[in-house]
Amino acid sequence: MTDTSGTEKTTIIRWILENYFREISVFVNCWKHRTTYEVLKEILLSLQAPVHGREPTGELIKELEKTVKKKKIIVCLDELDRLKDFDRLILISTFYHALMKLATRIKNSLALVEVEFPAYRADELNDIIDD
């Protein structure tokens, strides 16, 4: 979405998630939850996963991994550029240059590293099927 302030991006996204993806979506306000730990905790609590508030970040990541293996989820990190740390933030897209479309202020603050996974060759697909 556009980088312009005051265009009701947050309102629109929240409405879409609430009305069309309520069971599989999580909205996290990064003004309020400003660390990786807080974001992970908020995601898990929104998905009714057990969180006690004393777990290390690694445990929250493992719990989130277990959760997403059970069902697909949509996570909206509103005001992403307000996060204080990015030690374990991973963005995934099927579109090669998706990260390049992020607002400049976000790209600059994230110190992005883009990893490309090339398409499988036919012989690799055969090996996967055989396995």
Band of pLDDT at residue 2, cut at 50, 70 and 90: very low
Sign of CA dihedral 48, 49, 53, 58: negative
The tens digit of pLDDT for each residue in 34-80 reads: 888 899 999 999 998 888 888 898 898 888 888 888 888 888 888 87
Q: Checking phi first, is residue 79 left (phi over 0); if not, alpha (psi -120 to 50) or beta?
A: left
* Model pLDDT, residue 130: 77
Q: How far is CA 93 from CA 49, 68, 123, in A?
A: 25, 16, 25
* pLDDT of res. 106: 64
* Tokens matching residue 52: 């006690």
Task: Please state, in angstroms and as integers, the Cα–Cα distance from residue 24 to each residue in 11, 43, 108, following that order.
Answer: 18, 11, 30
Tell me the pLDDT tens digit for each residue of 85-106: 765 565 655 555 666 666 676 6
Provide the pLDDT for residue 42.
93
Q: Where are the domains of the chain?
A: 9-130
- Predicted model pTM: 0.63
Q: Is the CB of residue 34 less than 8 Å from the CB of residue 14?
A: no
Predicted local confidence at residue 111, as pLDDT: 62
